[in-house]
A and B are shown apart, each in its own frame.
Chain A
């Protein structure tokens, strides 16, 4: 379970300080599909980065399964990224010089695990990309690239999947398909947290958290 207690995060810019999160407290249960929504600049991405462990709160507590993530050192954070949390970005972030199989295998490389092409094909089938294993990112459409990113997350067998505007660069049809796939990850025991400004997408989640000016409003 993910638990945030009174978390604050301020960005110190040249001329001013921007309070991105102001005393956020929330809980996200296991095997749930939660959407975080709000207008631009309300702190959604900041919140997601803190949950992912990429950023640290200035104050407050971040508890993951009862353990204080604030205190994790570099090695523990690396283990956290390898086994607990994965992020899907709006820009897909596939490595251009690796084909689809290799991009999907990337987390396995760092987890020191191996899967053969057959097992990869099974994962690709789940995301509707069977037969695309030897394609390179530049040969895929936006929707296909995002599915590869999803497949990569499936293969890593993490417990929490975070998605930061995963449908931002996609058309409606592809966006709906991606969200359905994310929802399907619950069946694998994963907890999904999706950040979106699209109300329609947010409605597909089990639970919606709305942020405004760094606060949870609902």
Chain B
């Protein structure tokens, strides 16, 4: 109990240490929580963008016969061709009925393209919600002078990674209405592929593969890197604060050498003094840690209430971080405590 009294008696020496420690802890924890929340947010956003679909984009002109062999070779059940065109008003996509199977967009009314539409190359179209509105909800839509009958309208939806449903118009794959650049892509699910097979057909630089999981992996890696860099920077501030605390404690020990001398005269061993000072420095750090944690909680609550970002707290990870911070605080207090223990009675008496 009197150790608490001793701490309170010397509180003026500890105020700044507590504040510095609290700020350093706050910085480390808030970086951890915010970067974690942002990473999760980004991953959820990407995850909501589409299914586990791989997009193969081919550069230059190529015929499509290889694709059937490719799907057969790798047992790919869901796959589709996909041509997108530049158009003044809409995003035009020519595809087959399998695009519906792959992406499963929600229909507001009507139906998607079917096998018959594709094989007959009928002048039919399925329009996205925004495109339908833009076209004044007409039953027909004109694209490059060709009139298409609207057979289905897609519901408003979240964009996925590859297709912007809302502003797209889907027409049968037989139509090549390109007036300029045509993007030639293939989509398939399952994710099996052999890059060597594709390299063989298109050459090493003749294609590009994008899929959601690789995108998630890339963004995950980037987020983790950013998180680590930010944590490193925050750790530097912690190191500065710890250095300040050690320095301040050493100065304090010099001033309190008479007190140490009295204790040793009364029979305190070097180890007793060491333990008392180690405990004191740990108490000071712990107070700063507690204040820092409370500030983090308050800040997260404020950010969450303001709707700036969705805060997600990984309690296990942050508990580990707090434990590590406690360990750092404890270890940093050991050197000043050791110096306190080494003060002799003669040193103390001479200073009085």
Chain A residues with CB under 8 Å of chain B are: 49, 52, 54-55, 74-75, 78, 81-83, 86-87, 91, 93-98, 102, 106-107, 109-111, 152, 156
Do the beta carbons of B267 and A78 come within 8 Å of each other?
Answer: yes
Main secondary structure of the interface of B (DSSP, over half): helix
Contact among A52, A91, A107 for B352, CB-based, below 8 A? A91
Q: Does B6 contact A (CB under 8 A)?
A: yes
Do the beta carbons of B8 and A97 come within 8 Å of each other?
Answer: yes
Which residues of A have CB within 8 Å of B268?
78, 110
Which residues of A have CB within 8 Å of B9?
96-97
CA distance A82 to B258 in the complex (A): 18
Interface string of B260-273 (1 = CB under 8 A from A): 01111111111010
Do the beta carbons of B2 and A110 come within 8 Å of each other?
Answer: no
Contacts between chains A and B (CB distance < 8 A), count: 62
Interface string of B10-48 (1 = CB under 8 A from A): 000000000000000000000000000000000000000
Q: Does B345 contact A (CB under 8 A)?
A: yes
Q: Does B5 contact A (CB under 8 A)?
A: yes
Do the beta carbons of A107 and B267 come within 8 Å of each other?
Answer: yes
> In this complex, what residue of B is CB-closest to A88?
B265
Do the beta carbons of B346 and A152 come within 8 Å of each other?
Answer: no
Interface string of B225-262 (1 = CB under 8 A from A): 00000000000000000000000000000000011011
Do the beta carbons of A54 and B349 come within 8 Å of each other?
Answer: yes
Which residues of B have CB within 8 Å of A98?
2, 5
Q: A54-B349, A96-B9, A97-B6 are in contact. Are A111 and B258 (CB under 8 A)?
A: no
Q: Does B160 contact A (CB under 8 A)?
A: no
Q: How far is the CB of B12 from chain A (nearest CB, A)?
A: 13
Chain B residues with CB under 8 Å of chain A are: 2, 5-6, 8-9, 258-259, 261-270, 272, 344-346, 349, 352
Contact among B6, B263, B266, B349 for A156, CB-based, below 8 A? B266
> In this complex, what residue of A is CB-closest to B270?
A74
Known: A81-B266, A93-B262, A110-B268. 6 other contacts (CB 8 A): A78-B270, A83-B267, A95-B259, A96-B9, A110-B272, A111-B267
Do the beta carbons of A106 and B266 come within 8 Å of each other?
Answer: yes
> In this complex, what residue of B is CB-closest to A85?
B265
Q: A93-B258, A96-B9 are in contact. Are A81 and B267 (CB under 8 A)?
A: yes
Do the beta carbons of B265 and A97 come within 8 Å of each other?
Answer: no
Q: List 12 A-B contacts (CB under 8 A).
A: A52-B345, A54-B346, A86-B265, A93-B262, A93-B352, A95-B259, A97-B5, A97-B8, A106-B263, A107-B267, A110-B268, A152-B266
Which residues of B have CB within 8 Å of A94?
262
CA distance A94 to B8 in the complex (A): 17
Q: How far is the CB of A195 from chain B (nearest CB, A)?
A: 13
Q: How far is the CB of A150 from chain B (nearest CB, A)?
A: 14
CA distance A109 to B266 in the complex (A): 9
Q: A54-B344, A54-B345 are in contact. Are A75 and B269 (CB under 8 A)?
A: yes
Q: How far is the CB of B110 from chain A (nearest CB, A)?
A: 84
Which residues of B have CB within 8 Å of A81?
264-267
Contact among A52, A55, A156 for B267, CB-based, below 8 A? A156
CA distance A81 to B265 in the complex (A): 6
Q: A95-B259, A102-B2 are in contact. Are A49 and B349 (CB under 8 A)?
A: yes
CA distance A151 to B266 in the complex (A): 13
Q: How far is the CB of B349 from chain A (nearest CB, A)?
A: 7
Most chain B beta carbons < 10 A, residue from A83, A95, A102, A107 = A95
> In this complex, what residue of B is CB-closest to A98?
B2
CA distance A107 to B259 in the complex (A): 14
Which residues of B have CB within 8 Å of A106?
262-263, 266
> In this complex, what residue of B is CB-closest to A75?
B269
CA distance A94 to B345 in the complex (A): 15
Which residues of A have CB within 8 Å of B6?
95, 97
Which residues of B have CB within 8 Å of A107?
266-267
CA distance A75 to B270 in the complex (A): 9
CA distance A98 to B270 in the complex (A): 21
Q: How far is the CB of B280 from chain A (nearest CB, A)?
A: 12
CA distance A82 to B345 in the complex (A): 14
Contact among A95, A97, A111 for B262, CB-based, below 8 A? A95
CA distance A96 to B259 in the complex (A): 9
> In this complex, what residue of B is CB-closest to A162?
B265
Which residues of A have CB within 8 Å of B269?
74-75, 78, 110
Which residues of A have CB within 8 Å of B272?
110
Q: How far is the CB of B256 from chain A (nearest CB, A)?
A: 10
Q: How far is the CB of A165 from chain B (nearest CB, A)?
A: 13
> In this complex, what residue of A is CB-closest to B261?
A93
Which residues of A have CB within 8 Å of B267?
78, 81-83, 107, 110-111, 156
Q: How far is the CB of A62 from chain B (nearest CB, A)?
A: 15
